[in-house]
């Protein structure tokens, strides 16, 4: 599933491709949206806003296209208006004279009036957005210190968009790795320093991933790995999907475990204090 950084980059691409340009053609795959195909021709998208793992495309007539990528949804752009070569199922197509945006495979798509956006069931429950530049460290730390969350296992809590929006499976592994926190712990099990580190890395790693196109490790390590001939796949993460490989910090083996039906990756030596 795309996480916050990927959603923000998708929003940037949509905005750069079709925002503030007259719409010439629309396509909606779902019957309940067909009525908007003709209604929105001639209008413009005036803003594209990431909301957690969803995107709001706001039209100049007050309507808002809500889409949640879920597991397999993906926005693709085209400068010439031609549909990309893909086996995915087309859900939405928005075309202008200068380019087009296509949404594939997503199933949660709605049209909302302006006053319905903030009251949407998904949006109204979102916690602070870890990629948003106005989300502060103090705001995120307050979530980790909140009595309402202290007894929940961090490996599960970090996937809850009501806790922090934008964090997903790879970010949770990387945040806990950098903060040296046991994946089995709850906020109440952490020291104050660890909670501060969790807050710090929740923001730093999410924003780094957004700016770099999905690279979590620090630039110096990235450069060193590239000099050694490492591929992009093997020089993105500290722990995520690196099972059996040496930890970049201590050299011990990266391990994996399942929690809530999904894998989490960690360094036993760094995070579980096992020598």
Return mean pLDDT, the chain. Answer: 95
Give percent above pLDDT 70 in the chain.
99
pLDDT of residue 69: 86
Query: Which pLDDT score is estimated for 233?
Result: 83
Q: What is the SS3 string spanning 164-216?
A: CECCCHHHHHHHHHHCCCCCCCCHHHCCHHHHHHHHHHHHHHHHHHHHHCCCC
Query: Using one digit for the tens of pLDDT, what is the confidence trace for 140-182?
Result: 999 999 999 999 999 999 999 999 999 999 999 999 999 999 9
Instruction: Give the per-residue pLDDT at 275.
Output: 45
Smallest CA-to-CA distance from 102 within 120, 114, 88 is with: 88
Q: What percent of the chain has pLDDT over 90?
A: 89
DSSP state of 80: S
Over residues 40-61, mean pLDDT: 97
Rounded to 5°, the CA angle 238-212-122 comes to 85
User: What is the set of active-site residues?
Assistant: 2-3, 53, 262
Q: Which of 166, 76, 154 is nearest to 127 (CA)?
A: 166
Specify the higher pLDDT residue, 249 or 2. Answer: 249
In the chain, the domains with their CATH numbers are 4-125 (3.20.190.10), 137-272 (1.10.8.50)
CA distances, 62 to each of 14, 38, 58, 118 (Å): 18, 15, 7, 14
Whether pLDDT at 42 is above 90: yes
């Amino acid at each position: 599933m795309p996480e916050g950084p990927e959603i923000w980059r998708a929003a940037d691409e949509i905005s750069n491709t079709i925002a503030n340009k007259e719409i010439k053609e629309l396509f909606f795959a779902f019957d309940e949206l067909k009525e908007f195909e003709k209604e929105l021709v001639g209008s413009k998208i005036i803003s594209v806003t990431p909301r957690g793992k969803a995107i709001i495309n706001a039209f100049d007539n007050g309507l808002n296209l809500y889409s949640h990528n879920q597991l397999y949804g993906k926005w693709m752009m085209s400068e010439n208006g031609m549909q990309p070569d893909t086996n995915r199922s087309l859900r939405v197509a928005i075309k202008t004279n200068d380019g087009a945006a296509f949404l594939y495979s997503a199933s949660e798509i709605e049209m909302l009036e302006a006053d319905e956006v903030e009251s949407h069931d998904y949006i109204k429950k979102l916690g602070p957005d870890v990629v948003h530049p106005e989300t502060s460290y103090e705001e995120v730390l307050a979530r980790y210190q909140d009595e309402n969350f202290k007894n929940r296992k961090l490996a599960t809590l970090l996937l809850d968009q009501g806790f922090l929006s934008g964090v997903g499976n790879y970010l949770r592994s990387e945040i806990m790795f950098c903060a040296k926190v046991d994946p089995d712990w709850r906020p109440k099990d952490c020291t104050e320093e660890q909670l501060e580190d969790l807050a710090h890395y929740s923001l730093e790693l999410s924003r780094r991933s957004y700016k770099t196109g999905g690279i979590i490790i620090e630039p110096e390590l990235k450069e060193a790995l590239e000099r050694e001939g490492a591929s992009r796949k093997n020089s993105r993460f500290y722990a995520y999907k690196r099972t059996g490989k040496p930890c970049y910090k201590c050299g011990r083996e990266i391990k994996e475990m399942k929690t809530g039906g999904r894998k989490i990756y960690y360094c036993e030596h760094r995070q579980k204090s096992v020598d």
